[in-house]
Structure 1
Amino acid sequence: MTTLDSYHIMIVSKYFKTIEDYINLELVCKKCICNMEKFHFNPIPLSYKTIKYFPNIETLHLWHMYDENFGNEFLVDHQNDKCHQNIIKCNNVVVTKSFYQIVVWFHVYYPTVDQYKNLNFKFKNVIYTQNDRIKFGNTIPLCVTQIGLYCFNECQNLSSIILPSNVTSLGFGCFSCCKYLSNIVIPTSVISIDDYCFYECRSLSDITIPINVTTIGDYCFSKCNCLSYVNIPSNVISLGFECFDGCSSLSSVVIPLCYTSIDENCFPANTKIYDPNGLVNRFIVSKSQYI
């Protein structure tokens, strides 16, 4: 029978959820002893009590806003000026532990990243808001992963934009009513395009929807008068209500070769919808010409 060596036991244990799991593992056999000492990062949130089980941690991961950060405090909400901090309540003394790097997984706004860019923080989920765009400009920083609500709404000086490769989602109405936006490069990292994202972008004539996108929201491309052709990627499973409605120049759409849910009035009347496998729900798309 094949068994795991101590190294692979450690790899498997990265997916444990509680400190009790790690403690119990070390009681299994000799190969499991000192498993927690092999970690140079914390695989689970820790407290001042449980960090002693991981004596060799160099990188601290914070998955939630209220995870213990061992005195390494920072602002997490530039709008409400909230401070992420930890205080030992019994004596109100902050006990700071030093780490080579602190990796923050919960969402923060870009000013937080900008404020701590010269320190040992690494932020994995960064939102760029409309206020951020007004303050820092139309060039989206490379660390941004989410374009926020109405971020570029009615931005009349925006004609083209390239989104950073870390962006995974485009928020509600984030490019809506940008009437001069004619070219946008969306990275393959994007998986969702929210409602009203490109609503009334009347100069947008061509757009490549990345292959990893799974959902396109309600009214997403509605009233994009110049949009003439759309190729829906194979991973898209849902097209929202009136998603392409009012796209008067849209003559044909290629639907993915898989099941796709298409909401009512998704396309303008007389739009030709191509699906060689015939897997699109014919009843929902009855307004358009199904081929």
Structure 2
Amino acid sequence: MKLGYNEIMITSMYFNDINDFINLEMGVKRFQGNMERFHFNPIPLNHYSRKLFPNIETFHIYNKEDKIFNDGKIFKKIIWYKVDYSTYLKEKEQGNICKNIEYTKEDRWKYGNTIPPEVKSLGYECFYECSLLTTINIPSSVNELGYDCFNGCKSLKSINIPSSVNKIGSYCFYHCLSLTSINIPSSVISIGDGCFSGCSSLTSINIDNIQFISEERIFMNEPVLISIKIPDNLEIINGKNIFKKDINEFIIPSSITKLGYGCFSNCDSLTTINIPSSIKEIGDYCFDGCSSLKSINIPSSVISIGDGCFSGCSSLTSINIPSSIISFGNSCFCGCEEELKRNERIPSYCFDE
């Protein structure tokens, strides 16, 4: 297949810098003049490269630091970096386009609690301590809920998170005292630290899809949280104090391959847990401080137990140690019942403080 002018122009739109454009025209004579065919800049420009794209009418601004040219030939600007809603309205009046609009706390003060349909993300503390807010509609254009976004919205009872959202920031719903249940759509791939911490009325969380949980205190809630549905495709749980201390039962999906650092630490109401045969590693301090845990079955798939893994499990009297385990972490059974010391499979140093 022979590439024509249109095909090479489309291809060159994905070049990284001006040198790629220059090398194309110098290397292939029949593609000379490719840059002159562009009516927009496919890359950020400086004073030198601007001269190589003489016919630009629409100017794309990719980064906040990009050089902007007002040389009389440009009729419209397209802004790709994140701008607040107020800036978007000003640019719109001038005939310009903004591709990444954030609704900020200042925007909410000015324009109200209704999120405009053009908005792509909700910014830091956007609805922070809106104590009278009971419900809110998030438009399907939004892909991110920012840090502390609904922190302290103590009257918020329900919220619909659209399938367009892929990131929920740290402490997003912190101290939403009236929130009783929430559904996290399958589009969400990241949930930040302490996201649901202090949600004292929250009884049910449904997470449709997330492959890794690696933040801290996501589910650290008051005792009423009785149901946490974890997706079957989750691969790794890795983060300190992810689960609330009052949880007494947890089902680990068979997709999990690793229980990471401190993920069940200080769950002092946890009495029993089944570790599926998919697990290969139990990380440092994984069950540290689980003082009500009485027995646990470790499958033969596990090859290592991390430092302090079961330290402080003062009720633990029964545990099987399969021959597959080749690595015992320091103090991994420190503070456990004396009865465990009779287990010949456990090295003595595992009980040291």
Same fold (TM over 0.5): yes
Q: 1:263 aligns with which of 224, 236, 239?
A: 239
What is the CA deviation profile of residues 162-193 of structure 1, one whole-angstrom value per residue up to 9, with x for unaligned ones?
11223222122110111111111222222221
Q: 1:248 aligns with which of 202, 205, 223?
A: 223
CA distance in 2, matches of 1:151, 1:213: 19
CA distance in 2, matches of 1:229, 1:59: 49
Mapping for residues 29-44 of structure 1, pairs under 5 Å: 29-44=28-43
Q: Aligned pair count?
A: 266
1:226–1:249 contact (8 Å) kept in structure 2: yes
- In the TM superposition, residue 22 of structure 1 has moved relative to its aligned partner by 0.6
TM-score by length of 2: 0.68
What is the CA deviation profile of residues 241-281 of structure 1, one whole-angstrom value per residue up to 9, with x for unaligned ones?
11111242322323231313342222222143341434351
Mapping for residues 153-168 of structure 1, pairs under 5 Å: 153-168=128-143
CA distance in 2, matches of 1:45, 1:265: 44
The one-letter code matched in structure 2 to 1:116 is E
User: Which ranges in structure 1 are unaligned for 5 or more consecutive residues?
Assistant: 72-94
SS of residue matched to 2:63: coil
The one-letter code matched in structure 2 to 1:259 is E
Residue in 2 that maps onto 1:277: 255
1:5–1:31 contact (8 Å) kept in structure 2: no
Residue in 1 that maps onto 2:161: 186
- In the TM superposition, residue 223 of structure 1 has moved relative to its aligned partner by 1.8
2:58–2:74 contact (8 Å) kept in structure 1: no
CA distance in 2, matches of 1:203, 1:151: 19
SS of residue matched to 2:92: coil
More displaced, 267-276 or 221-230?
267-276
- In the TM superposition, residue 66 of structure 1 has moved relative to its aligned partner by 2.8
User: Which ranges in structure 2 are unaligned for 5 or more consecutive residues?
Assistant: 275-353
**RMSD (Å) for aligned C-alpha atoms:** 2.3
- In the TM superposition, residue 160 of structure 1 has moved relative to its aligned partner by 0.9
Q: 1:144 aligns with which of 119, 122, 127?
A: 119
- In the TM superposition, residue 220 of structure 1 has moved relative to its aligned partner by 0.4
Mapping for residues 1-291 of structure 1, pairs under 5 Å: 2-71=1-70, 95-99=71-75, 101-256=76-231, 257-268=233-244, 269-279=247-257, 281=259, 284-286=262-264, 287=267, 288=270, 290-291=273-274
CA distance in 1, matches of 2:178, 2:250: 22
The one-letter code matched in structure 2 to 1:228 is T
1:250–1:271 contact (8 Å) kept in structure 2: no
CA distance in 2, matches of 1:225, 1:280: 30
Residue in 1 that maps onto 2:301: none
- In the TM superposition, residue 51 of structure 1 has moved relative to its aligned partner by 2.6
The one-letter code matched in structure 2 to 1:118 is E
- In the TM superposition, residue 62 of structure 1 has moved relative to its aligned partner by 0.3
The one-letter code matched in structure 2 to 1:206 is S
SS of residue matched to 2:108: helix
The one-letter code matched in structure 1 to 2:132 is N
CA distance in 1, matches of 2:260, 2:26: 59
CA distance in 2, matches of 1:49, 1:285: 54
TM-score by length of 1: 0.82
SS of residue matched to 2:27: coil
The one-letter code matched in structure 1 to 2:128 is N
The one-letter code matched in structure 2 to 1:21 is D
CA distance in 1, matches of 2:118, 2:32: 39
The one-letter code matched in structure 2 to 1:227 is L
1:16–1:22 contact (8 Å) kept in structure 2: yes
Closer/same/farther in 2, CA of residues 49 and 277 from structure 1, 3 Å limit: closer
CA distance in 2, matches of 1:230, 1:239: 17
More displaced, 202-211 or 28-37?
28-37
Closer/same/farther in 2, CA of residues 97 and 3 from structure 1, 3 Å limit: closer
The one-letter code matched in structure 1 to 2:205 is V
2:181–2:202 contact (8 Å) kept in structure 1: yes
- For the pair shown, the structure with the greater C-alpha radius of gyration is 2
- In the TM superposition, residue 239 of structure 1 has moved relative to its aligned partner by 4.4
CA distance in 1, matches of 2:142, 2:179: 20
1:191–1:213 contact (8 Å) kept in structure 2: yes
